[in-house]
Amino acid sequence: MTENLKHPLESISSSHSPHRPSKISKTTDDHSDDEQPESMSQRPGIQRYLLAIEYIGTRFSGSQQQSNFRTVVGVLEEAFHKFIGQPVSIFCSSRTDAGVHALSNVCHVDVERISKRKPGEVLEPHEPAVVKRAVNHFLQKNEGDVMVIDVRSVPANFHARYKAQERTYFYRLLSGAEPLSTFEKDRAWHVSEELNLRAMQEACKVLVGHHDFSSFRAAGCQVRLLVGVLKAVGTGDLKVPDVERILNAKTVTAASPMAPACGLYLGHVKYDLP
């Protein structure tokens, strides 16, 4: 069975598709406009673009720019620099750790189109389709593990992080004694034990709703801590009442060891697009 897991910007604000994989956890972050930093005045001729990107996180040291490390933002900024001939700064809606993948993370970037024949002359902004094609051209020359899947022009005050209304994550966990397929290496967490799915589903019900998730909040690893606890329920190391006890403890030391990064995917980011 084939499932379309790409979420281009045109469909970000639409209802959830019934064909997506079952969600273990859904993280919602609401940001009011007064949380946004003051916008710097934008010079005429600069266009802000919103980019949806997908990537395999295995060879990245996370999404955010870091000195002397290969990151998603670093590779994107390098591709844009080669495209337009000047440095840019890229801001992502969501940070992902080393080894975490994305079916659709969203970023914004400001681009000023300068004439290469007449340096200093500002031209009309590139069409989004041109940006997508050109940036992907350079990305494919750099490992090919990140790709722009959609681009659109947005107003200068549209911020990829602060305008995000909802973020959805998926976690892939494969169980059984059979070795993990070569094609699944670094794309899922392989647990050799058989898991009690019914017990895991009952444990999930404890977590549904509005709660204080302090027990699962550690340096952006909330989903991985949640999955770690659910896996422990599946193997019988924890019982369903233990999940409620851990949730109510409101301390991260109460949770089980977190699940590895390789199974976590940022699925999509929801916006009320202009």
- Its sign, for the CA torsion 137, 140, 142, 148, is positive
Q: Is 265 annotated as a binding residue?
A: no
The backbone torsions φ and ψ at residue 182, rounded to the nearest 5 degrees and listed phi first, read -55, -35
Cβ neighbours of residue 88 closer than 8 Å, sequence gap 6 or more: 77, 80, 81, 109, 110, 111
DSSP H or E run through 190: strand 189-191
CA distance 66 to 111: 22
Q: If phi over 0 gives left and psi between -120 and 50 gives alpha, with beta otherwise, what is residue 135?
A: alpha
Nearest to 58 by CA among 97, 4, 6, 3: 97
Nearest to 104 by CA among 186, 8, 22, 15: 8
CA distance 211 to 217: 12
Burial status of residue 19 (CB atoms within 10 A of its CB: 0-12, 13-18, 19 or more): exposed
Catalytic status, residue 242: no
* Active-site pick, 29, 30, 34, 97: 97
Annotated binding-site ranges: 169
Annotated binding-site ranges for substrate: 169
Catalytic residues: 97
